[in-house]
Amino acid sequence: MNQLSLSNSPISDIQVIASSGPFQIELLKHVGENDYSQLILISKTLEVDYGKKAILTHETIQKYFNKEGALPFIARYRKRIIGYIIGIPLEELSHEPWARMDENFGKNNTLYTYAFVVESEFKGNGYAKMLKRVFLSWAEKHNHIDFITGHVINGISAKFTGDIRIINRVENWQGTGKTFEYYQRDIKSKGPLQKNNPPIINRT
């Protein structure tokens, strides 16, 4: 059944992907209204770095989480949502000039990391790494997906492992007053890992 046909369902439709004791990672096939408040609350922690646009609303949850082609996962601890990560087709961001300028725009081979957050009290115990690892692993299983992209604060992508390139850097990203990197991860690359100082292929 198409995800969009479930838009009025009050209960989330999930698939447990990984679990360890009270912690588990779930693939969200559909986000129900029962999980809206927790997702919105967690998203507010993104405001400091990413601005108010990062705060979820009922509309953006429907638009991005319950969208065909999206890849949303949540981390849950003792039935409480403590984090989430979501990839959406780059083409869904056609209203953004930087997205249209991506060399892969229109090829339907790129997932943009719309958001990745884990509550601060649960950081440092491996939960965030596990959530990201599951996300990347599932993206790799989609034969048509070759790249993962996203925006992170300047310097963060140097800590990533994998075949990473910085496409550009943008000052005062979304009015935050901070410089952000737009990075690209080649998830199908079999070359050596680029662990530090990823090369810039284009700078703005």
Q: How far lies 5's CA from each of 12, 30, 46, 62, 66, in Å? A: 13, 10, 30, 12, 10
Q: What is the pTM of this model?
A: 0.86
Write the CATH number of the domain with boundaries 3-145. 3.40.630.30
Q: Can you tell me the distance from the alpha carbon of 17 to that of 5, in angstroms, rounded to the nearest whole number?
A: 23
Element (H, E) at 99: helix 97-100
Q: Can you tell me the distance from the alpha carbon of 184 to that of 48, in angstroms, rounded to the nearest whole number?
A: 24
> Domain ranges in the chain?
3-145, 148-204
CA atoms within 13 A on the CB side of 113: 21
CB 56 within 8 A of CB 39: yes
Give me the mean pLDDT over the 114-124 stretch.
Answer: 91
Element (H, E) at 127: helix 127-140
7 pLDDT exceeds 80?
no
The predicted-structure confidence for 159-203, as pLDDT tens digits, reads as follows: 898 899 999 999 998 888 999 999 999 998 866 555 445 555 443
CB 75 within 8 A of CB 52: no
147 pLDDT exceeds 70?
yes
